[in-house]
Chain A
Amino acid sequence: EVQLMESGGGLVQPGGSLRLSCAASGFTFNTYWMHWVRQVPGKGLLWVSRLNGGGSRTDYADSVKGRFTISRDNAKNTLYLQMNSLRGEDTAVYYCARGHVTGYGFDIWGQGTMVTVSS
Chain B
Amino acid sequence: QSALTQPPSVSGSPGQSVTISCTGTSSDVGSYNRVSWYQQPPGTAPKLMTYDVSNRPSGVPDRFSGSKSGNTASLTISGLQAEDEADYYCSSHTTSSTYVFGTGTKVTVL
Interfacial residues, chain A to chain B (CB-CB below 8 A): 35, 37, 44-47, 50, 59-62, 95, 100, 103-107, 109-112
Contacts and interface: CB of A to CB of B under 8 A. Distances in A.
A105 B46 contact: no
Contact of B48 (A46, A47, A105, A110): A105
Given A44-B102, A59-B97, A103 B52 contact: yes
Contacts of A107: 48, 51, 57
B48 A44 contact: no
Interface in B63-105: 89, 91, 93, 97-104
Contacts, number: 66
A96 B68 CA distance: 27
Given A44-B104, A45-B104, A104-B34, A59 B98 contact: yes
Contacts of B35: 104
B21 interface: no
A44 B3 contact: yes
Interface centre among A62, A109, A110 (most CB of B within 10 A): A109
Given A45-B91, A47-B99, A107-B51, 16 more contacts: A47-B91, A47-B100, A47-B101, A59-B98, A60-B98, A61-B1, A95-B45, A100-B48, A104-B34, A104-B93, A105-B52, A105-B91, A106-B36, A106-B91, A107-B48, A109-B47
